[in-house]
Amino acid sequence: MKKIKIIYILGILIITSSLNAQQTPSPAQSEAVTIVGATAHIGNGEVIKNSLIIFENGILTQVLDATTTKMQYRGTIINAEGKHVYPGFIAPNTTLGLVEIASLRPTDDEDEIGEMLPHIRSLVAYNAESQIVESMRPNGVLIGEVVPRGGTISGTSSIVQFDAWNWEDAAIKIDNGLHINWPNSFKRGRWWLGEERGLKPNEKYPEDVLKLTQFFNNSRAYIAGDQKQENLPYKSMETVFTNGKKVFVHVDGEREIVDAIQFKKDQNLRDMVIVGGYDALKVADLIKAENIAVLSPRPHSTPNQDDEDYDYNYKLAKLLSDKGILVGLESSGQMERASTRNLPFYAGTVAANGMAKEDALKLITLNNAKILGIDDRLGTLEKGKDATLFISEGDALDMRTNKLTKAYIQGRELSLESHQTELYHRYSDKYENQKKE
């Protein structure tokens, strides 16, 4: 018991001491900023080769072609000739801030017990001082959707920006979406019981889908009633039915996607997003016809089957876009939190596999903003939107040239340092000093 206590205290000490390395959030923008001469990647497919960008009080006031416009520069002037400006990249479907060290349960707040948990809200557990969140920023990932995991209805997500003192300040859009893990028509063979490995048909699939339908029906009935008896799960569904909350359905299989779309129709849901959608291409026409957007899985993953094209995952987002579907990129999967900083390179990979570069950029800017319902403020470099953007020395979708010199969230210039860069400097200095000795 004593030993456990000591470990516990030790753990707290270590975690608190490391938290000290967190970068201090910047104060509100006090002076206008003008960026001159950069190639501006607007995020909607357009590029301004020699741009003039001005923002004030956290809002973009001008985004113009510098070669054709005469405009008075304002405030701090940044000469960014030869450099590139991008809107801050948006990472949907992440667990950033919910887990710090994957193998340590005390740092894990992503998965609540229970099956139907619309009342569970990610925002309140979001750790604004996470070292992982901090490490997103030097790569241009400035906005994220924080999503609970597990269960059939995992809970309610919120959207945050990555430079804040606390979750309340971080919030961009509170309770933006309901997240459903669609039941699977396959189940894994329980090999430890002597069953064959691999997936086999799940006989309980119709039953699982029915449970979901019943939950929706019950919620609707409850809300229509006098609600005398408190029921938090049912009550929290209200904004789903009034279309205040988007429904994100995490689903991969062809059959499941078709069933989920039928569910959308049956439940009269206006706004549904498919998250994952590994087989979405097979039913692309149906998805298009129902105006459903897809958050396509990270291209840096391997095909599910031996027979599939080796580059299937690389090009899936492109092929879906070609069908006229609104597609964004998400980054869930193996080591999903730490790997989310590779979001720009996921878009780069899609560009390498047939998509025009500016279209690939849209996958992590405007399209993600639209899909998350924040395109009124974010996702492009357009007048009137938040000044959430960054300057990179080169093409930000390629790891060779993704080198940020400045980044802003709502006009506030943020630190590009992190726990990691501090260690970098500390030990680089160590060896530099050794050389001098």
Partner 1 sequence: MRLKFLLLYLVISSGLNLYAQDYFPNNDGVNSKNTNYTVFKNAKIHVDSNTIIDNGMIAVREGKLTAVGKSIAIPKNSIVIDLKGKDVYPSFIEIYSDFGMKKPAKAGSGNGQPQYNASREGYYWNDHIRPETNALESFTFDKTEAEKFQKNGFGAVNTHLADGIMRGTGMLVSLNAEGSEGDRILKDKSANFLSFDKSVQSNQSYPTSIMGAMALLRQTYIDAAWYEKGNISTKDLALEALNRNSTLPQIFKTDNLLDQLRADTVGDEYGIQYLIFGSGNEFERIAEVKNTNATFIIPLDFPEAYDLENPFMANNVSLQDMKRWNQAPSNLMQLAKNNIPFILTTQNLKDEKKFRENLLKAISYGLDKKKALEALTTTPAKFLGEENKLGVIKQGAWANFLITSGDIFDKETVLFENWIQGQKVVLENMNTVNLEGKYSLAVDGKNYDLEITGKPNSPKAEVKLGDAKIKSKLSYTDTWMQILLSSPDSTKTEYTRLVAKVNDDVNKINGRAILSNGKETSFTVTKSLDKAKEKDKKEEDKNDSILPIVPLTYPNLAYGFKELPKQEDILFKNATVWTNTEKGILEKTDVLIKDGKIANIGTNLSAGKAKVIDASGKHLTTGIIDEHSHIGASAINEAGQNSSAEVSMEDVIDPTDINIYRNLAGGVTTIQLLHGSANPIGGRSAIMKLKWGENAEGMIFPDSPKFIKFALGENVKQANWDSKSRFPQTRMGVEQVFTDYFSQARDYETAKKTGNYRKDIEMETLVEILNGERFVSSHSYVQSEINMLMKVAESFDFRINTFTHILEGYKVADKMKEHGAGASTFSDWWAYKYEVKDAIPYNAAIMHNAGLTVAINSDDGEMSRRLNQEAAKSVKYGGISEEEAWKFVTLNPAKLLHLDNRVGSIEAGKDGDVVLWSGNPLSIYSKAEKTLIEGTVYFDIEKDKELRKEIAQQKNMLTGQMLTAKNGGAKTQSATKKEDQKMGCDTLVTY
CA–CA dist 337, 392 (Å, integer): 23
- The site that binds partner 1 (CB under 8 A) totals a number of residues, namely 64
Q: Find the part of the chain contacting partner 1 (CB under 8 A) among 59-67, 217-225, 250-258, 362-370.
A: 250-258
Nearer to partner 1, 270 or 425 (CB): 425
Site for partner 1 in 16-45 (CB under 8 A): 18
98 contacts partner 1 (rule: CB under 8 A): no
What's the min distance (Å) between Cβ of 434 and partner 1? 6
CA–CA dist 258, 377 (Å, integer): 32
254 contacts partner 1 (rule: CB under 8 A): yes
307 contacts partner 1 (rule: CB under 8 A): yes
At 287, the amino acid letter reads I
132 contacts partner 1 (rule: CB under 8 A): yes
Sheet holding 33-36, edge to edge: 59-65, 51-56, 33-36, 76-79
Nearer to partner 1, 74 or 255 (CB): 255
The number of CA neighbours under 13 Å toward the Cβ of 147 is 28
6 contacts partner 1 (rule: CB under 8 A): no
157 contacts partner 1 (rule: CB under 8 A): no
What's the min distance (Å) between Cβ of 200 and partner 1? 5
- Name 145's Cβ contacts closer than 8 Å, sequence gap at least 6: 90, 91, 92, 93, 94, 157, 158, 159, 176, 177, 372
301 contacts partner 1 (rule: CB under 8 A): yes
Nearer to partner 1, 172 or 319 (CB): 319
Q: Find the part of the chain contacting partner 1 (CB under 8 A) among 50-58, 78-86, 265-273, 294-302.
A: 294-302
337 contacts partner 1 (rule: CB under 8 A): yes
4 contacts partner 1 (rule: CB under 8 A): no
What's the min distance (Å) between Cβ of 95 and partner 1? 11
Nearer to partner 1, 169 or 309 (CB): 309
* Given 94, 131, 296, 321, the residue binding partner 1 (CB under 8 A): 131
Query: How many angstroms separate the Cα of 320 from the Cα of each of 101, 287, 327, 382?
Result: 34, 10, 7, 26
> What dihedral do alpha carbons 407, 409, 415, 418 form, nearest 10°?
-100
* Helix, strand, coil share of the chain (percent; to 5): 35, 25, 45
- Token pair of 290 as six digits: 């129902």
Strand partners, 392: 84, 404
In 3-state terms, what secondary structure has residue 61? strand
Cβ atoms < 10 Å from Cβ of 135: 20
Provide the strand spans (E) within 257-403: 272-276, 293-296, 327-329, 389-392
CA pseudo-torsion sign 300, 305, 310, 311: negative
* Given 1, 4, 27, 306, the residue binding partner 1 (CB under 8 A): 306
Query: How many angstroms separate the Cα of 397 from the Cα of each of 30, 165, 302, 351?
Result: 31, 29, 20, 9
What's the min distance (Å) between Cβ of 255 and partner 1? 4
What's the min distance (Å) between Cβ of 287 and partner 1? 16
Nearer to partner 1, 199 or 223 (CB): 199
101 contacts partner 1 (rule: CB under 8 A): yes
Could you tell me whether strands 39-41 and 47-48 are parallel, antiparallel, or unpaired per DSSP bridges? antiparallel
What's the min distance (Å) between Cβ of 222 and partner 1? 34
* Given 145, 163, 175, 279, the residue binding partner 1 (CB under 8 A): 279
User: Per-residue x/- marks for partner 1, 169-188, CB under 8 A?
Assistant: ----------------xx-x
Nearer to partner 1, 27 or 194 (CB): 194
Query: How many angstroms separate the Cα of 287 from the Cα of each of 41, 63, 363?
Result: 29, 35, 17
110 contacts partner 1 (rule: CB under 8 A): no
343 contacts partner 1 (rule: CB under 8 A): no
Q: Which residues bind partner 1 (CB under 8 A)?
A: 18, 100-104, 131-132, 185-186, 188-189, 191-192, 196-201, 253-255, 279, 282, 300-307, 309-311, 334-335, 337-338, 341-342, 345, 348-349, 351-353, 397-403, 420-421, 423-424, 427-428, 430-431, 434
